[in-house]
Amino acid sequence: MSERNTKAGWNFDNSYACLPDLFFSRQDPSPVRAPRLVVLNEALAVSLGLNVEALKSRESVEIFAGNRVPEDSAPLAQAYAGHQFGHFTKLGDGRALLLGEQITPEDERFDIQLKGSGRTPYSRGGDGRAALGPMLREYIISEAMHALGIPTTRSLAVAATGESIVRETELPGAVLTRVAASHLRVGTFQYAANWGTVEDVRTLADYTVKRHYPEVEADENRYLALLREVIRRQASLIARWQLVGFIHGVMNTDNMAISGETIDYGPCAFMDVFDPSTVFSSIDVHGRYAYGNQPRIAAWNLARFAEALLPLLHDDEEQAIRLAEEALSDFARLYHGHWLAGMRAKLGLANEEPEDESLIASLLGLMQKARADYTNTFRALTVGKPEDTELNGDPEFAEWHKRWQARLGRQEEPQASSQQLMRSSNPAVIPRNHRVEEALEAATIHEDYSVMHRLLDVLSKPYAYKPDQDEYAAPPAPSPIPYRTFCGT
Ligand code: AMP
Ligand code: MG
C-alpha cells in the first residue's frame, strides 16, 4: 500500500464481492483527461475515518475521478433489475462502480461508490458518464436531506473530469463519490428472483439480514421478519419525505434502498406550493410519482420486494402469499402513524386528541386552496406570524387558527416547549429549486463555487431559524413556466 493511500485512511472490505458472480461484474473505472476536485465533504470524510488533507492530494483526486483505485478496492458494477414506471427491466450499474466498503473507526460499514465513472457491462446504449451539474445537484440535495434528519445516501466528493459529455448540448463531465449504508435495492432482489435460483435469493437475503437487520437473524422466519423490517423503515422514510415536502421523482423499484435510505437523486425536488399533484420530473407525464402518490408507490414497490422473497417465506406458495399480504397490509397503518405523529409535531401538539386529524386536514385543505407555500406556512406558524402566510385574510384560516390555539391550550406542555417542538419539526430552509439552480449555474458556467458553499452552509442547519437564512427561505418568484427536473443526465 502506498504511503499516501494509507494516509488518506481508506480501509476497504469487499463483502458484496463475495456474493455469487450473478450479482456483479468486475469493472475498473475509465480514466479521464484532467481530474480536478471541485467539492469535498470534509465533515463526512472525517466521520469515515479519512484524512481531509490527504484527500486533497493529487493521488486522491485521481481516485475520486476514477483514474486510479485505492489499495484493497475491488471495483465492481452491481447487477439489478427494476420496475421503471411500472415496466420490468434488467438494469445494473450502467455508470456507477462500487469501489468497496469503507470500515470506519466506529466499525461501521459504508459503500463507497463512484457515479459517472465510465461504461460497464450494464451500460446498454449509455456513455457511463455524468454531467457536473446533476452531480453537484445530488451533492446538495442529499446533504440537505441528511441535515434534515432524513436517512439518505451521502456525497463525499465531486471531481470534474476535464472532459465534455454529450447530452442535448455538450456539458462538463464529473464523477460523484457516493456513500451509502449499501446499494442493495428492491431491484437487486427482483434480479435474483428472475435471473437466479431460489438459493441466490436466499444468499442475498441472508447477506442483507447480516448487513442491515442483524436483529432478525435468530427469528423463526427471518425472511418474513426481514420483509416486515424493510416495510417499517420505508413507512418511516416516506412519512419523513411527505413531512418536508420532498418529491423523489423516480420511485422505480431499482431506486428503493433496502437499508431504508433515500437513494438516487435524479429528478427530485422540494415542493413550494402545497399541492399533492405536484410533479417536477419532465418524464413523469402521468404524475405516477407525484407528491401525493409517494406512499402508495412505496407500498407497490414493497409488494414487488415481497414477491421476490415469496419462495423464502413458506414452502407452500399460498401460505407464502398470505404471509406477504399480511406484512404488506401493515404499511398503510405504519405510514399513517408516522405521518400523523410528524404532523402533530409540526403543529406543536405533544399529546393526542381524536380531532387532530381533522385539524391537520383543514389546514392542508386551506393551504391547497390558497396555493400557500408548504415550508413557509409551517415556518410562519412556528415563529408565531400567521399573518406572513398566503392564508392571511381568509376567514376560514382565522377560524382554523383559533381552533389550533384552543387545541394547544388544552395540553399541559408550556407554550415554550410546543414552540421548541415546532422548531425542530419545521425546517426554516429547504433546498429551494431556484437557489439550487443559482448555485449550479455559478459553479458550472462561471466555475464559482462560493454560491454553492454558502447554500450548503445554510442547508446544513435547516432548523436554526437564524435571520441570515431568511433570504434562502423566500419562495421562487411566480413563473409562467413550471420548474422541470431531468433524470440520467
Ligand atoms: P436512474 O434513472 O439513474 O435510476 O438509472 C436507470 C438505469 O440507467 C441504471 O441502470 C443506470 O445505471 C442507467 N444509466 C443512467 N445513465 C446512464 C449513462 N449515462 N450511461 C449508462 N447507463 C446509465
Ligand atoms: Mg437508479
What is the full per-residue pLDDT of the chain (489 aa) written as tens digits?
444 445 999 999 999 999 999 999 999 999 999 999 999 999 999 999 999 999 999 999 999 999 999 999 999 999 999 999 999 999 999 999 999 999 999 999 999 999 999 999 999 999 999 999 999 999 999 999 999 999 999 999 999 999 999 999 999 999 999 999 999 999 999 999 999 999 999 999 999 999 999 999 999 999 999 999 999 999 999 999 999 999 999 999 999 999 999 999 999 999 999 999 999 999 999 999 999 999 999 999 999 999 999 999 999 999 999 999 999 999 999 999 999 999 999 999 999 999 999 999 999 999 999 999 999 999 999 999 999 999 999 999 999 999 999 999 999 999 999 999 999 999 999 999 999 999 999 999 999 999 999 999 999 999 999 999 999 999 998 887 888 888 766
Ligand sitting nearest the alpha carbon of 95:
1
Domain end, chosen from 160, 180, 200, is at 180
Same domain (yes/no): 272, 164:
no
Same domain (yes/no): 195, 152:
no
Which residues, in sequence order, are CB contacts of 67 under 8 Å at separation 6+? 29, 31, 32, 35
How many whole angstroms separate alpha carbon 240 and alpha carbon 24? 32
For residue 6, the model assigns a pLDDT of: 55
Atom of ligand 1 nearest to the CA of 93: 12
CA 344 distance to own-chain centroid: 24
Atom of ligand 1 nearest to the CA of 252: 4
Strand partners, 201: none
For atom 1 of ligand 1, the residue with the nearest CA is 488
Ligand 1, residues at Cβ distance < 6 Å:
91-95, 122-123, 126-129, 250, 254-255, 264, 266, 487-488
* Domain-located, residue 22: yes
Which is it for strands 12-13 and 96-103: parallel, antiparallel or unpaired?
Answer: antiparallel
Ligand 2 mean position, distance from CA 350 (Å): 38
Domain end, chosen from 159, 180, 201, is at 180
* Domain-located, residue 288: yes
Going by the DSSP 8-state scheme, the letter that residue 129 receives in this structure is B
Which is it for strands 36-40 and 76-78: parallel, antiparallel or unpaired?
Answer: unpaired
Ligand 2 mean position, distance from CA 116 (Å): 12
How many whole angstroms separate alpha carbon 489 and alpha carbon 479? 24
- Among 25, 27, 90, 91, name the best residue to mutate to test ligand 1's pocket (greatest count of ligand atoms within 8 A of Cβ): 91
Same domain (yes/no): 35, 175:
yes
* Domain-located, residue 1: no
* Domain-located, residue 10: yes
Q: Amino acid identity, residue 351?
A: N
Task: Note down the domain range covering 216.
Answer: 184-432+474-489
Count how many domains the chain has: 2
* Domain-located, residue 463: no
Same domain (yes/no): 146, 247:
no
For atom 8 of ligand 1, the residue with the nearest CA is 94
For residue 487, the model assigns a pLDDT of: 72
CB neighbours (10 Å) of residue 87? 8
Indicate if 254 belongs to the active site: yes
Q: Are 136 and 108 in contact (CB under 8 A)?
A: no
Same domain (yes/no): 299, 360:
yes
Ligand 1 mean position, distance from CA 488 (Å): 6
Q: Which of 404, 350, 383, 356 is closest to 464 using CA atoms?
A: 383
Q: Which of 388, 394, 294, 404 is closest to 344 using CA atoms?
A: 404
Strand partners, 97: 114
Same domain (yes/no): 196, 159:
no
Domain end, chosen from 153, 180, 207, is at 180
Burial of 13 per CB tally in 10 Å (0-12, 13-18, 19+): middle
For the record, the C-alpha cell of 121 comes out as: 457491462
Ligand 2 mean position, distance from CA 233 (Å): 19
How many whole angstroms separate alpha carbon 282 and alpha carbon 5? 42
For residue 478, the model assigns a pLDDT of: 82
Same domain (yes/no): 175, 236:
no
- The residue from 93, 111, 200, 254 that is catalytic is 254
CB neighbours (10 Å) of residue 163? 15
How many whole angstroms separate alpha carbon 213 and alpha carbon 217? 7
Atom of ligand 1 nearest to the CA of 125: 21
Same domain (yes/no): 166, 239:
no
Same domain (yes/no): 226, 289:
yes
Same domain (yes/no): 228, 99:
no
* Domain-located, residue 54: yes
Same domain (yes/no): 201, 169:
no
For residue 483, the model assigns a pLDDT of: 87
For atom 13 of ligand 1, the residue with the nearest CA is 94
CB neighbours (10 Å) of residue 332? 13
For residue 69, the model assigns a pLDDT of: 97
- Among 95, 288, 486, name the best residue to mutate to test ligand 1's pocket (greatest count of ligand atoms within 8 A of Cβ): 95
Cα dihedral across residues 65, 112, 127, 160: positive or negative: negative
How many whole angstroms separate alpha carbon 431 and alpha carbon 380? 18
Q: Are 280 and 247 in contact (CB under 8 A)?
A: yes
- Among 90, 93, 123, 301, name the best residue to mutate to test ligand 1's pocket (greatest count of ligand atoms within 8 A of Cβ): 123
List % helix, strand, coil for the chain (3-state, nearest 5): 50, 15, 35
For residue 488, the model assigns a pLDDT of: 61
Ligand 1 mean position, distance from CA 257 (Å): 16
For residue 2, the model assigns a pLDDT of: 44
> Is the pTM higher than 0.95?
yes
Same domain (yes/no): 56, 131:
yes
3-class secondary-structure state, position 98: strand
Which residues, in sequence order, are CB contacts of 60 under 8 Å at separation 6+? 4, 8, 37, 54
For residue 3, the model assigns a pLDDT of: 46
How many whole angstroms separate alpha carbon 251 and alpha carbon 216? 27
* Domain-located, residue 452: no
* Domain-located, residue 17: yes
For atom 3 of ligand 1, the residue with the nearest CA is 488
